[in-house]
Each structure stands twice: as structure tokens, then as C-alpha cells.
A = this chain, B = another copy of it.
Amino acid sequence: MESILEDLEQAEGLAALQSASEEIRDHYGVDHVVYHWVDSAGDQYGCGTYSDVWRDRYLEQNYLRVDPVILGCFQRFHPVDWKRLDWSSKPARTFQAEAIAHGVGNQGFSVPIRGPNGQFALFTVSHSCDDDMWATWTDAHRRDLILIAHTFNEKALEFEPDRAPEQSQALSPREVDAMTFLAMGYSRAQVADTLSISEHTLRVYIESARFKLGAMNTTHAVARAMSRGLIVV
């Protein structure tokens, strides 16, 4: 366990994550170990020990929108055993049958992980065995898996070039106030009233913030302020 985390922490590049997942698989003696990054924009990225055929099929069929593991974990915080997910819909059952046929295994355990800006990922371990055996195994390694999932995601975020933290100009306190109340749904009149200033003044702040944030309108400015963590709503 210790050595796995250390190898993971020292991993450099996506190829290293690939071999890390193989190492984890061998260490725990399970069939598959997979890390799957999804963002709500629909982009995905993954690495792990599933066969290329299955991975390509998954992408090609856009199973992201069907896979009960994704759908179920997206609404949860807890790591979850696949048995507790909802496999009842027809597309889900089709998907399940196909997954098993591709060697995914009849048992699975997935840890949902979330990062800033709505980033979402899954760390999954799957295996073929009976229910009792799987329950014993997951019970014994649940904590390990949480830590591994966390470290895995830490690395994936690190390698994601997307995270270029655009050095943004700080907003003045009044500008922060303005953006915050706007994000809370107040109209300009209400914000001005709340801050006890004239609406004209408020407008100056909004325009100033919009300029600093390089935004085209108020909604854009609020969105940028939020995604840069300049306001907390």
C-alpha cells in the first residue's frame, strides 16, 4: 500500500499513470483498475487496464450517458459497490451484458472524486468473483482505495494542461460585493440597495469588474469570477 502510493506520487506523465494502474491491479490481485475523468462538457480521459476494444467501444457508443456507474456516482459522495447502483433500465442492462462480455468483471467498486470547477472522476476496481468474496475484499481495502483514488486524481489534475491558472487581476472589495450579490440572483437595484449605494455607482463597479475579468457582460463576469474563485457563492 505504502509503496503504491509512493510510486503514484512520483509518477510523471500519463504513461506512468497507466503503469501505476497495472501495478495496483497486480498488487491487489483484481481483474481491472481504471481511472476515468469526465467533465460535464462531455470530454473524457481515462487510463487503466480495460482492453482497448472495450475502451473504444465505450467511447464510440457514448456509454458515458448510459453507464450506471457514472450516473450513479455523479450523484453520490460515498464510494459505491456496483451492486447498489440502478441497473434496471433497458440500456443499462444492455451495457452491463456487453461490459461483462468484454471481461470487465461482474463485481465492481467505484470511488467518485471531485475537483475544482466541476471536475469529476471515478476510480474503479472490478473483478470476477462471488458476492461474499467481493464484500470481504472491498471491506478490507476501502480506505486504501479512497487514498489511491485521491492520489490518482491529484496526478491527473497535475498533468492536465487545461489548469493554466490565468493570472487574473484581483477585484476590489466593492467589486467582489457586487459580483457576489449578482451571483446570488439580486438585480442591480437590489444589490445597490443592499450595499446602500446608488445604482449608478453599482454600475461602475460592475463595469470595472467586467473590464478586469475580460468579460463581455455581467453574466460572463460573474461566471469568470466564480470559476477563478474570486467570489464564493
> Contact residues of A with B, CB < 8 Å?
5, 38-42, 64-65, 70-72, 74-78, 89, 91, 114-120, 143, 146-147, 150, 153-154, 157, 165, 170, 173, 176, 180, 182-187, 215-220, 222-223, 226-233
**Closest B residue to A215 using CB positions:** B185
Cα–Cα, bound, A228→B75 (Å): 7
Distance in angstroms from A6 CB to nearest chain B CB is 11
Given A77-B115, A228-B75, check contact A40 B219 (CB 8 Å): no
Distance in angstroms from A57 CB to nearest chain B CB is 18
**Closest B residue to A227 using CB positions:** B233
Contacts of A76 in B (CB 8 A): 116
Indicate how many identical chains form the complex. 2
Return the contact of A229 from the options B74, B150, B183, B215 (Cβ within 8 A): B74
Contacts of A41 in B (CB 8 A): 180, 184, 231-233
B229 x A227 contact (CB < 8 A):
no
Cα–Cα, bound, A217→B186 (Å): 8
| A-B contacts, 9 listed (Cβ < 8 Å) | A40-B176, A41-B232, A71-B232, A77-B154, A91-B173, A118-B226, A118-B231, A150-B150, A226-B226
Contacts of A118 in B (CB 8 A): 118, 226, 229-232
Cα–Cα, bound, A170→B75 (Å): 11
Contacts of A70 in B (CB 8 A): 232
- Closest 10 A/B residue pairs (Cβ): A185-B220, A118-B229, A114-B114, A185-B216, A75-B229, A183-B223, A77-B115, A118-B232, A219-B219, A74-B229
A227 x B226 contact (CB < 8 A):
yes
Return the contact of A77 from the options B116, B187, B220 (Cβ within 8 A): B116
